[in-house]
């Protein structure tokens, strides 16, 4: 894993991902087993720290932490500072401190603090003075997303969801949870037209093919396929392009010229924007071959492909291996037919809970 990968994982735990970074993280989790394992570990650690709660620290604790921070600042000033690296190191330091603090708090919980005996009264007085000097948590410091997640996880809806095998199978993939945390995707899945399209066998077969990966990685092609008329025009142009290449034989220059002429002739009666989009999509020969694929044509003819790609959030989600796999294997469809999953989709706090460490831990525990 690279330093950039670590930055993304820590930003996800902190809830600081931008929309572009969220897509980048989803792709990282889809392709890297190491990243998925690391992400799950960070979520569990964050959950442990949160569950420990807060206790009054010893009097010298803040001084020790301040010394660590001061030494790190000094090292940074001497060695220079890289914004991206600084962002990573800051999070790494915080996670390390959190882990150390967790161990200290567990020791305090077992042995008791302060110790009873010599100078106990003075030590208690110091602790009380320290605690009183600390600023109290203000309303503005409370993250609404965290509150919504906690409230959701205390409901009967969550209890039913976590006991539902189809839901656990789908949500057991961290990459899928990351995508479903997007309210726009949840809204898309609640759309009856999208839900019905995802159950279509032709669409499932398409999404299990290499052709789907080629097409969905092309923004121009995937947008064209989200409209029935544009999809048919794209397929016709792709076929004309192939005929032009065959007619030109092995002469590459003639083949390209014939393909351009065929595509222009096919799209001559259409609006300029779609004409340009078709030419852009078919410039990639792998995409053009994928468009001509039988599985693609069947998915287009069924109408399911256009229905699924019409919603931006669903189109972006299907551009990931994790979601393609969830649809192709039927995991998403099985979850959508589950009453427990349907209720969760309509519940407040579901999206926020999906990114929480407690949710991941509950899934692990329920699956054992």
Q: Is the peptide bond before 114 cis (omega within 30 degrees of 0)?
A: yes
Contact call for residues 241 and 282 (beta carbons, < 8 A): yes
Q: Residue 184: which of 199, 196, 194 has the closest Cα?
A: 194
Count of H-run helices and E-run strands, the chain: 27, 0
What pLDDT sits at residue 126?
A: 41
Statement: the pTM of the whole predicted model exceeds 0.75: no
Stated length of the chain: 368
Interior CA angle at 29 toward 287 and 47, to 5°?
A: 155
Q: Which residue in the block uniquely carries the two structure tokens 């572009």? A: 20
Instruction: Check pLDDT > 70 for residue 37.
Output: yes
Q: Is the pLDDT of residue 144 over 70?
A: no
Give rounded-to-5 percent helix, strand, coil for the chain: 80, 0, 20
pLDDT in tens, 239-285: 988 886 655 454 555 555 555 555 554 544 446 778 888 999 899 99
Task: Please state, in angstroms and rounded to a whole number, the distance separating the CA atoms of residues 162 and 141.
Answer: 30
Whether 227 contacts 334, CB under 8 Å:
no
- pLDDT bin (cut points 50, 70, 90) of residue 121 is very low
pLDDT tens readout for residues 331-354: 999 999 999 999 999 998 898 898
CA 180, CA 177: separation in Å to the nearest integer?
5
Q: Which of 80, 310, 281, 116 is nearest to 194 (CA)?
A: 310
Gap between the Cα atoms of 170 and 338, Å rounded: 11
Q: For residue 318, which phi and psi values (nearest 5 degrees)? A: -70, -10
Closest CA to 318 of 216, 174, 170, 209: 216
Question: Residue 249: which region, alpha, beta or left (left: phi > 0; alpha: psi -120 to 50)?
Answer: left
């Amino acid at each position: 894993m690279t330093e950039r990968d670590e930055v993304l994982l820590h930003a996800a735990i902190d809830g600081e991902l931008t929309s572009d970074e969220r897509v980048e993280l989803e792709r990282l989790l889809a392709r890297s087993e190491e990243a998925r394992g690391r992400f799950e570990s960070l979520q569990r650690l964050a959950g442990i720290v949160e569950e420990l709660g807060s206790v009054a620290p010893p009097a010298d604790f803040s001084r020790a932490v301040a010394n660590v921070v001061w030494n790190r600042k000094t090292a940074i000033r001497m060695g220079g500072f890289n914004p991206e690296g600084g962002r990573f190191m800051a999070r790494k330091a915080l996670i390390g401190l959190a882990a150390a603090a967790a161990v200290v708090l567990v020791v305090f919980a077992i042995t008791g603090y302060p110790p009873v005996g010599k100078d106990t009264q003075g030590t208690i007085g110091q602790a009380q003075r320290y605690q009183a000097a600390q600023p109290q948590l203000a309303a503005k410091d409370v993250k609404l997303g965290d509150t919504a997640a906690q409230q959701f996880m205390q409901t009967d809806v969550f209890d039913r969801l976590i006991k539902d095998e189809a839901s656990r199978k789908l949500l057991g993939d961290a990459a899928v949870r990351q995508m479903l945390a997007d309210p726009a995707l949840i809204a898309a899945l609640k759309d009856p037209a999208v839900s019905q399209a995802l159950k279509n066998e032709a669409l499932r077969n398409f999404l299990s093919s290499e052709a789907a990966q080629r097409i969905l990685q092309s923004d121009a092609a995937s947008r064209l396929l989200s409209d029935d008329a544009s999809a048919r025009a794209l397929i016709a142009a792709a076929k004309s392009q192939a005929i032009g290449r065959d007619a030109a034989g092995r002469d590459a220059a003639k083949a390209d010229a014939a393909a351009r002429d065929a595509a222009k002739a096919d799209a001559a009666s259409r609006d300029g924007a779609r004409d340009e989009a078709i030419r852009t999509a078919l410039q990639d020969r792998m995409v053009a071959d994928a468009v001509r694929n039988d599985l693609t044509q069947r998915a287009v003819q069924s109408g399911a492909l256009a229905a699924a790609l019409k919603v931006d959030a669903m189109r972006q989600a299907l551009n990931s291996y994790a979601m393609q796999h969830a649809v192709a294997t039927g995991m998403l469809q099985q979850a959508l037919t589950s009453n427990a999953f349907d209720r969760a989709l309509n519940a407040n706090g579901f999206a926020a809970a999906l990114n929480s460490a407690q949710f991941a831990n509950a899934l692990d525990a329920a699956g054992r």
